[in-house]
Amino acid sequence: MSHEFYMQRCFQLAAFGKGLVAPNPMVGAVLVHNEDIIAEGFHHKFGGPHAEVVALQNINDAALLKNSILYVNLEPCSHFGKTPPCADLIIEKQIGQVVIANLDPFPQVNGSGIEKLKAAGIKVISGILEKEGRFLNRRFFHFHEKKMPWVILKWAETNDGFIASLPENKNERVTLISNQESRTLVHQWRSEESAIMVGMNTLLTDNPYLNSRLVNGQNPVRIVLGNGNELPPDLNIFEDKNTSVLIYNFSITEIKGNAEWVKLEKNGQVLNQLLHDLYKRGLNSLIVEGGTITLSSFINAGLWNEARVFKAPHSLGSGIAAPKLPNAKVLTNQAIGSDRLCCIINTENFN
Ligand SMILES: NC(=O)c1ccc[n+]([C@@H]2O[C@H](COP(=O)([O-])OP(=O)(O)OC[C@H]3O[C@@H](n4cnc5c(N)ncnc54)[C@H](OP(=O)(O)O)[C@@H]3O)[C@@H](O)[C@H]2O)c1
């Protein structure tokens, strides 16, 4: 079997940590002896043991390690963080060879884990499926390299390109554009990201909960942008006291229970300020769910990484027009029941 085969298995295992390990990366590890997988592991949750440690715990015959290869999608750490260095453990267990997809972007690690292994006489190969590994951990790499969260734009539009009825059509307001299957999928996505955001108009017209209630998963931190110093206290976003709410505004700094008002400067850099603040809070991904003014401001500033757009089969005739994306690479275009889902990546911000 090729190195790529076992690395693919590391990616599969790593993905089990989706939504549970942030801001850490998703990591999987596989121990191979004479082409047989003898143990596997992955990083289960933030602060928990690293993938290499779990794989080594799962081994039945430690005598095989000397002639085994450890496959792991991220360079083993060489520093004391929440857990002791994995590089030291690999050396102690006398594993013969280590194969890696990506170097760790952390300045304390970058290349030093590999150097430590090599210095101990372990053969190291790196760069196997490097691009695929970067894509799997795109939130993690972007967060550390650009010092801001990975931004996913999401909206649903009608067949004729509207995201909602006009505000003046109060009595005939269409509140749901996409179907139930699509909405459940969106809740799954919410549970996989660190934060979720809407603009002030969406908050006040739709009164959303911004949680993951349709699936069994974590709730993201809820974020609103706009002049929100006097928000009704009975809004649904304030209901769940266990999840934080951040209200980015231009007039006050204040903390009330689980809600925090964060003052931004009203200049051309509003979204940069906001994303930088999320970086400082350790939130490595953000899903932006509308409306058009908010989504368009991310698009115009070039501060987005992915877009996930649902197109419903029905029309509205008039309403709030959907945002317009510049040319970008379409990753997938598929049916979700009666809706179509188009997933797009901003190649300007990802390589
Ligand atoms: N179909 C869908 O997927 C979907 C999803 C979400 C919402 N919607 C619909 O969208 C409609 C609302 O959309 P909308 O376009 O009118 O408004 P919106 O984007 O929800 O909110 C716009 C407001 O947010 C604040 N804001 C957003 N970006 C900003 C920036 N870069 N800098 C400063 N302030 C910023 C401003 O608040 P201030 O004016 O307070 O400063 C702005 O007026 C609702 O009817 C809702 O139902 C549809």
- Which residue type does 204 have? L
Please give the structure tokens belonging to residue 125.
């190969």
- Measured in Å, residue 221 CA sits from the centre of ligand 1 at 18
Please give the structure tokens belonging to residue 325.
């994306």
Q: Are strands 259-263 and 245-249 parallel, antiparallel or unpaired?
A: parallel
> HEC profile for 155-185?
EEECCCCEEECCCCCHHHCCCCCCCHHHHHH
From 178, 196, 200, give the residue whose CB has the most ligand 1 atoms within 8 Å, as the site to mutate. Answer: 200
- Measured in Å, residue 199 CA sits from the centre of ligand 1 at 4
Atom of ligand 1 at shortest range from CA of 297: 31
Tell me, what's the pLDDT at 284?
A: 95
Tell me, what's the pLDDT at 304?
A: 97
Please give the structure tokens belonging to residue 209.
């909960």
For ligand 1, whether the C-beta of 198 sits within 6 Å is yes
Q: Residues 4, 35, 52, 145: which is the catalytic one?
A: 52
Tell me the mean pLDDT in the region 123-140.
97
For ligand 1, whether the C-beta of 301 sits within 6 Å is no
Residue 104 has pLDDT above 70, yes or no: yes
Tell me, what's the pLDDT at 277?
A: 98
Residue 297 has pLDDT above 90, yes or no: yes
pLDDT bucket at 322, cuts 50 / 70 / 90:
very high
Exposure string for 221-250, b = 16+ CB within 10 A, e = fewer: bbbbbbebeebeeebebbebeebbbbbbbe
In whole numbers, what is the pLDDT of the chain averaged over residues? 93
Distance CA 231, CA 92 (A): 58
Q: Over pLDDT 90: what percentage of the chain?
A: 84
Tell me, what's the pLDDT at 99?
A: 98
Surface-to-core class of residue 165, CB atoms within 10 Å of its CB (0-12 exposed, 13-18 middle, 19+ buried) = buried
Catalytic status, residue 132? no
- Measured in Å, residue 205 CA sits from the centre of ligand 1 at 10
The domains located in the chain, with CATH, are 3-141 (3.40.140.10), 148-349 (3.40.430.10)
Atom of ligand 1 at shortest range from CA of 227: 40
For ligand 1, whether the C-beta of 290 sits within 6 Å is yes
Alpha-carbon distances of 202 from 14, 42, 164, rounded to whole Å: 35, 39, 10
Tell me, what's the pLDDT at 172?
A: 61
Tell me the mean pLDDT in the region 150-167.
95
For ligand 1, whether the C-beta of 156 sits within 6 Å is yes
Among 26, 61, 60, residue whose Cα is nearest residue 44: 26
Task: Extract the runs of DSSP E, i.e. beta strands, from 165-322.
Answer: 195-199, 221-225, 245-249, 254-256, 259-263, 285-288, 306-311, 320-321
For ligand 1, whether the C-beta of 141 sits within 6 Å is no
- 22-73 per-position pLDDT tens digit: 999 999 999 999 999 999 999 999 989 999 999 999 999 999 999 999 999 9
Residue 81 has pLDDT above 90, yes or no: no
pLDDT bucket at 347, cuts 50 / 70 / 90:
confident
- Measured in Å, residue 285 CA sits from the centre of ligand 1 at 20
Tell me, what's the pLDDT at 106?
A: 80
DSSP-assigned beta bridge partners for residue 254: 261
pLDDT bucket at 80, cuts 50 / 70 / 90:
confident
Among 85, 136, 139, 134, residue whose Cα is nearest residue 114: 85
Q: Over pLDDT 70: what percentage of the chain?
A: 97
Please give the structure tokens belonging to residue 84.
């002791």
Helices assigned H by DSSP within the chain:
3-14, 51-57, 86-92, 112-119, 130-136, 138-146, 180-192, 200-206, 270-280, 292-301
- Which residue type does 125 have? I
- 169-214 per-position pLDDT tens digit: 666 665 689 999 999 999 999 999 999 999 999 999 999 999 999 9
For ligand 1, whether the C-beta of 225 sits within 6 Å is yes
Query: What angle, 0 to 180 degrees and rounded to 10, lies between the N-to-C axes of helices 270-280 and 292-301?
Result: 90
For ligand 1, whether the C-beta of 270 sits within 6 Å is yes
pLDDT bucket at 84, cuts 50 / 70 / 90:
confident
The number of helices, as runs of H, and strands, as runs of E, in the chain is: 10, 17
pLDDT bucket at 279, cuts 50 / 70 / 90:
very high
- 213-265 per-position pLDDT tens digit: 999 999 999 999 999 778 999 999 999 888 999 999 999 999 999 999 999 99
Measured CA angle at 349 (ends 348, 351), to 5 deg? 85
pLDDT bucket at 351, cuts 50 / 70 / 90:
low
Task: Name the 3-class secondary structure at 98.
Answer: strand
- Which residue type does 179 have? N
Tell me, what's the pLDDT at 171?
A: 60
Distance CA 343, CA 189 (A): 13
Tell me, what's the pLDDT at 169?
A: 62
